[in-house]
A = this chain, B = another copy of it.
Amino acid sequence: MSDAKIRLYVDHPLGQGQSVPLSREQAHYLFGVMRLSVGAAVLLFNGVDGEWRAEVAEAGKRGGTLVCAARTRPVQMPPDLWLMFAPIKKARTDFIVEKAAEMGARRILPVQTEFTNAGRVQRDRLQAHAVEAAEQCGGTYVPEVADMQRLDRALTGLGDRRLMFCDEALAGAEDTSALPDTPGPWAILIGPEGGFSDKERARLHRMDTAHAVQLGPRILRADTAAVAALTVWQQRLGDW
């Protein structure tokens, strides 16, 4: 049996001897595209039970079964960090979701600001991007992509969670080194490409839990700012 090189996210419990049924799409991928046959090894994870080495027990065109042989890694939860962002063009929105999953965010929240152009996001498509990124980056956890909600509701939903927000146009933004080393739940908010409205900005400044930061002297696109902000946070407060 060769080493398992394929990693697959499954929405099914994993454990010693556990059978895992495959969807039609998964069977097509494993047996049609990747040409695996009975006995081949695959790495499975479900975001909860860690990573398992499983073997193909049944292989068919419309389905199949894997059986878990041994746990190869425990689940590694990312820090309790949410990434909130205002959706932009499709490719760059996909990119933000992929990067958030790779870099270790626990939850991804598209938010609608007053100047957000994208009227709607396809949550299922974005969730699939997060799954694919986790499969590729060796993650054992998949961040949940939430439904888009209005920024004011999303901010209320933060409760006591601390917020690091990035807005190029924001006067009084601190150097990232001024970010408090406070552990516990955090969120990052990436401003929309059109900027925050005066009302949104005023609310963010009134929040005791919110910290404005600047990310250098050049104006970063929203997708760049997302990766940079995740890096800053992970280095200071996360698991890097």
- The reply to whether B217 and A136 contact each other, CB–CB distance below 8 Å, is no
A215 within 8 A of B: yes
- The reply to whether A218 and B176 contact each other, CB–CB distance below 8 Å, is no
| A191-240 with Cβ < 8 A to chain B | 214-221, 224, 227-228, 230-232, 234-235, 238-240
Q: Which residues of chain B are within 8 angstroms of A102 by Cβ–Cβ distance?
A: 218-221, 224
Q: A227-B227, A228-B231 are in contact. Are A221 and B136 (CB under 8 A)?
A: yes
| A57-108 with Cβ < 8 A to chain B | 76, 95, 99, 102-104
- The reply to whether B224 and A138 contact each other, CB–CB distance below 8 Å, is no
Q: Which residues of chain B are within 8 angstroms of A95 by Cβ–Cβ distance?
A: 95
Quick one: copies of this chain in the complex?
A: 2
- The reply to whether A104 and B216 contact each other, CB–CB distance below 8 Å, is yes
| Residue in chain B with minimal CB distance to A221 | B102
Q: Which of A177, A217, A219, A231 has the most CB of B within 10 A?
A: A231
A4 within 8 A of B: no
- The reply to whether A137 and B239 contact each other, CB–CB distance below 8 Å, is no
Q: Which residues of chain B are within 8 angstroms of A231 by Cβ–Cβ distance?
A: 215, 227-228, 231-232
**A1 nearest CB across to chain B (Å):** 23
| Residue in chain B with minimal CB distance to A227 | B227
Q: A216-B240, A219-B138 are in contact. Are A103 and B235 (CB under 8 A)?
A: no
- The reply to whether A235 and B137 contact each other, CB–CB distance below 8 Å, is no
Bound Cα distance from A240 to B230, whole angstroms:
15
**A231 nearest CB across to chain B (Å):** 4
Bound Cα distance from A20 to B177, whole angstroms:
43
Bound Cα distance from A227 to B215, whole angstroms:
12
Bound Cα distance from A231 to B224, whole angstroms:
10
Q: Which of B99, B217, B219 contacts A76 (CB 8 A)?
A: B217
Contacts beyond the supplied A104-B216, A214-B240, A231-B232: 8 A-B pairs with Cβ under 8 Å: A95-B95, A99-B227, A103-B224, A104-B217, A137-B221, A176-B240, A216-B234, A227-B231
Q: What are 22 inter-chain pairs, A to B, with CB distance below 8 A?
A: A76-B217, A99-B224, A102-B218, A102-B221, A103-B216, A103-B228, A136-B219, A137-B218, A137-B221, A138-B218, A138-B219, A176-B240, A215-B231, A215-B240, A216-B234, A216-B239, A216-B240, A227-B227, A227-B231, A228-B230, A231-B232, A232-B235
